[in-house]
């Protein structure tokens, strides 16, 4: 899930490519590179680590040229060093790649036998050599690229240029997204429209199996058989801004603090607060006639889906199957005509979620997707796009996208409950009113920042943490653990509180903090019993609860974070905030790279 850019323009392209790469750094930041053609010759600058290192390199050794390609890498094949950084060259060919060439070992053996030497450990280099070999046999650049593409198996988005031709870029897509940007006498290629937004809002998205020949004043798209194909040119709504951190130290912190506002925007999109009803947003199915709903997603988005299972089943009596997309895609789930599928994704580009969507498409099931980027591939391939109005999320750890996903899902559950006749108009109004209070409670929770920061100081000293919760707080416990491990690198696990005694309790000793998420609800006393079990074994409890819970929890805690009493339906949305704040402050104390934690990328476009 790297980011790629190509520009054939009329001013020096290297700074423009770096600018576009900044907007793609969410896709990976293991290394970055740019190549251009100047006076007929290929030139290249690459640097290990973040884009800023490449900027320094270009500052010391600038690159001229009116045509170029660039890359920001999330390592798959080969360690993240400069040699493995893209662009890769083979004789007259320069190439950048996002994805995985699955038959690269076989191609590498074949090319090695033909005398081609490999400078890097990447799978990408085989593509450059394949094209160079066709050129050496006398093919034109366009024919050489087409022949090489036909040999590739796996997932790829490619941008290719050729020494000696300063008016030719070739792009190809099979899996990861690729967009062509139309300028005035200049053309662009990019992994997404946002990367190209400062240059143009006129975009053509390539479809799987497409490849494109781009010159300054024209472009032609072909399918893999070489037949010309037409793809719609559209106006992108992507904004060109590089969002800044405002007064905040990190994007993650800023995004945590934006939540009252973006939750409110998202809820207003799905709920009519004046009438007290769910809005009748277009859906490709009728909740009333569904037998089952299948939801699939990855990471935090999956956990949002897991929470919604409790809502859909409890409020609407609608059975929900929820799967991690990387499992669902290969599970060969039988589908029936009275089923619908829902996918959840911040980026709308996650490879496993997209593959699951395509499986459902093949099964003929109606598809709705909750995405934060409506123009994304998942958005475009769904029958209905259900947007979260979180705005761009830059921090790799998902925060505001999660609570906006929950806001959309809770609203849909209310709509489903009404459509299926399981809530009266009065009960529906009450639920809508309760949901409308989520932003206010979220604001109140943000005021606990100082207290949470103090708790985080202790947490930053430990090596393992357990999170416990029941009901919707069980997926939230898993989300807490995911947040903590991804940005602080502390090992953490989330468990259903009632499951503790079936194994994990063996881990409890005086060194094990146990974070219990337990608003006062109908099963609160059960969770208190589980806390007693922890306390009896010397475990250190950090309790996140409300006023009533704090008064009734008859157990000694190391810390208690007390939230206001609030309606049950909004607890997963509001309790997500202290969990995010705890992970954030712990990571800050530990001095990790909060917004770009090691080994991760914001958008995961490979399997």
How many other C-beta atoms lie within 10 A of the C-beta of residue 230?
A: 7
Cβ 124 to ligand M6R shortest distance, Å? 23
Q: Are strands 3-8 and 67-73 parallel, antiparallel or unpaired?
A: antiparallel
Residues marked active site are found at 2, 602
> Binding residue for ligand M6R (CB under 6 A) from 17, 604, 605, 606?
604
Binding of residue 586 to ligand M6R (CB under 6 A): no
Identify which range of 114-122, 148-156, 344-352, 588-596 contacts ligand M6R by CB under 6 A.
344-352
Q: How far is the CB of 335 from ligand M6R (least distance, A)?
A: 22
DSSP 168-224: EEEEEEESS--EEEE-SS-EEEESSHHHHTTT-SEEEEPPTTEEEEEETTEEEEE-T
Residue 557 lies near ligand M6R (rule: CB under 6 A): no
List the beta bridge partners of residue 89: 94
Binding of ligand M6R by 403 (CB under 6 A): no
CB of 529 to ligand M6R, least distance (A): 31
Is residue 379 close enough to count as binding ligand M6R by CB under 6 A? no
Give the shortest CB-300-to-ligand M6R separation in angstroms.
3
Tokens of 169: 């870029």
Report the nearest approach of ligand M6R to the CB of residue 399 (Å): 8
Of residues 7 and 304, the one with the C-beta less far from ligand M6R: 304
Show the site string, 352-371: x = touches ligand M6R by CB under 6 A, - = not.
-x------------------
Contact 562, 545 (CB under 8 A): yes
* Size of residue set near ligand M6R by CB under 6 A: 16
Q: Is 397 in the site for ligand M6R (CB under 6 A)?
A: yes
Nearer to ligand M6R, 74 or 222 (CB): 74
> Does 398 help bind ligand M6R (rule: CB under 6 A)?
yes
Count how many residues are written for the chain: 607
Cα 215 from Cα 212, distance rounded (Å):
10
Residue 345 CB, shortest distance to ligand M6R, in Å, is 3
Select 418 or 483, whichever has its Cβ closest to ligand M6R: 483
Tokens of 38: 């100047």
Residue 203 or residue 397: which is nearer to ligand M6R going by CB?
397
* Contact set for ligand M6R, span 266-305 (CB under 6 A): 298-301
Element (H, E) at 59: helix 51-60
CA angle (579 as vertex; 500, 297 as ends), nearest 5? 80
| Residue showing the smallest CB distance to ligand M6R in the complex | 299
Min dist. Cβ of residue 447 to ligand M6R (A):
24
CA distances from 336 to 291, 341, 363, 430 (A): 9, 11, 8, 34
Specify the DSSP class assigned to residue 87: P
As beta bridge partners, residue 48 has 31
Is residue 1 involved in binding ligand M6R (CB under 6 A)?
A: no
Sites for ligand M6R among residues 202-261 (CB under 6 A): none
As measured in angstroms, the least distance from the Cβ of 281 to ligand M6R is 20
Residue 223: CB atoms within 10 A of its CB come to: 13
Q: How far apart are CA 155 and CA 250, in angstroms?
A: 33
Q: Which is nearer to ligand M6R, 37 or 604 (CB)?
A: 604
Rg (CA), the chain: 26
Q: Does the footprint of ligand M6R cover residue 84 (CB under 6 A)? A: no
Other residues' Cβ atoms within 10 Å of the Cβ of residue 426: 9
Q: Token digits for 344?
A: 């959840």
How many Cβ atoms sit within 10 Å of the Cβ of residue 231?
Answer: 14
Cβ nearer to ligand M6R, comparing 397 with 409: 397
Stretch that binds ligand M6R, among 52-60, 169-177, 395-403, 434-442 (CB under 6 A): 395-403
User: Any contact of residue 192 with ligand M6R (CB under 6 A)?
Assistant: no
- Cα separation of 29 and 44, whole Å? 18
Region 478-507 residues binding ligand M6R, contact defined as CB under 6 A: 482, 486
| CA atoms of 8 and 216, how far apart (whole Å) | 6
Please tell me the distance from the alpha carbon of residue 15 to that of residue 135, in angstroms, as a whole number.
30
**Which residues are near ligand M6R by CB under 6 A?**
298-301, 345-347, 350, 353, 396-398, 482, 486, 603-604
């Amino acid at each position: 899930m790297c980011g790629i850019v190509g520009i054939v323009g009329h001013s020096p392209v290297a700074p423009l490519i770096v600018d576009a790469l900044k907007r793609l750094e969410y896709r990976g930041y293991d290394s970055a590179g740019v190549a251009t053609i100047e006076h007929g010759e290929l030139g290249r600058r690459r640097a290990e680590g973040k884009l800023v290192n490449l900027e320094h390199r270009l500052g010391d050794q600038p690159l001229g040229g009116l045509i170029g390609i660039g890359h920001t890498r999330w390592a798959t094949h080969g360690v993240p060093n400069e040699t493995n950084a893209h662009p890769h060259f083979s004789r007259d060919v320069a190439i950048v790649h996002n994805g995985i060439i699955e038959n690269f070992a076989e191609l590498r053996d074949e090319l090695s036998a033909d005398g081609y030497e490999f400078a890097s450990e990447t799978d990408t280099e085989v593509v450059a050599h394949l094209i160079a070999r066709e050129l050496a046999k006398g093919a034109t650049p366009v024919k050489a690229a087409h022949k090489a593409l036909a040999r590739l198996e796996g997932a790829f988005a490619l941008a290719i240029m050729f020494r000696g031709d300063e008016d030719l870029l070739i792009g190809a897509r099979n899996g990861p997204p690729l967009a062509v940007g139309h300028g005035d006498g200049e053309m662009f290629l990019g992994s997404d429209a946002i990367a190209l937004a400062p240059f143009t809002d006129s975009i053509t998205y390539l479809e799987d199996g497409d490849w494109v020949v781009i010159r300054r004043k024209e472009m032609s798209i072909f399918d893999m058989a070489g037949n010309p194909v037409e793809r719609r040119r559209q106006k992108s709504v992507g904004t060109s801004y590089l969002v800044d951190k405002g007064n905040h130290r990190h994007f993650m912190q800023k995004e945590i603090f934006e939540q009252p506002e973006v939750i409110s925007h998202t809820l207003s999109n799905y709920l009519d607060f004046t009438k007290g009803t769910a809005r009748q947003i277009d859906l490709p199915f009728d909740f009333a006639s569904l037998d089952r709903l299948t939801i699939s997603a990855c990471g935090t988005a999956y956990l949002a889906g897991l929470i919604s299972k409790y809502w859909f089943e409890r409020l609407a009596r609608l059975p929900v199957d929820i799967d991690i997309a990387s499992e669902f895609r290969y599970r060969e789930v039988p589908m029936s005509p009275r089923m619908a599928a829902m996918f959840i994704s911040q980026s709308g580009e996650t490879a496993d979620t997209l593959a699951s969507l395509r499986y459902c498409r093949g099964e003929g099931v109606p598809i709705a997707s909750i995405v934060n980027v409506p123009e994304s591939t998942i958005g475009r391939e769904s029958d209905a796009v259900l947007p979260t109005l979180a705005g761009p999320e830059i921090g790799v750890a998902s925060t505001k996208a999660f609570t906006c996903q929950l806001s959309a899902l809770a609203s849909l559950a209310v709509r489903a409950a009404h459509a299926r006749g399981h809530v009266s108009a009065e009960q529906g109004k009450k639920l809508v009113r309760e949901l409308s209070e989520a932003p206010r409670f979220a604001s109140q929770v943000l005021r606990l920042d100082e207290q949470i920061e103090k708790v985080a100081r202790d947490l930053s000293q430990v090596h393992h943490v357990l999170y416990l919760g029941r009901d919707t707080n069980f997926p939230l416990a898993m989300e807490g653990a995911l947040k903590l491990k991804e940005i602080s690198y502390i090992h953490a696990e989330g468990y259903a509180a009632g499951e503790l005694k079936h194994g994990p309790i063996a881990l409890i000793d005086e060194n094990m903090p146990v974070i219990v998420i337990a608003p006062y609800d109908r099963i609160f006393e059960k969770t208190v019993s589980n806390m007693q079990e922890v306390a009896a074994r010397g475990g250190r409890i950090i309790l996140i609860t409300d006023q009533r819970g704090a008064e009734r929890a008859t157990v000694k805690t190391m810390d208690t974070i007390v939230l206001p009493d609030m309606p049950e339906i909004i607890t997963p949305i509001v309790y997500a905030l202290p969990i995010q704040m705890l992970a954030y402050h712990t990571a800050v104390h530990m001095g990790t790279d909060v917004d770009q934690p090691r080994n991760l990328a914001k958008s995961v476009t490979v399997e």
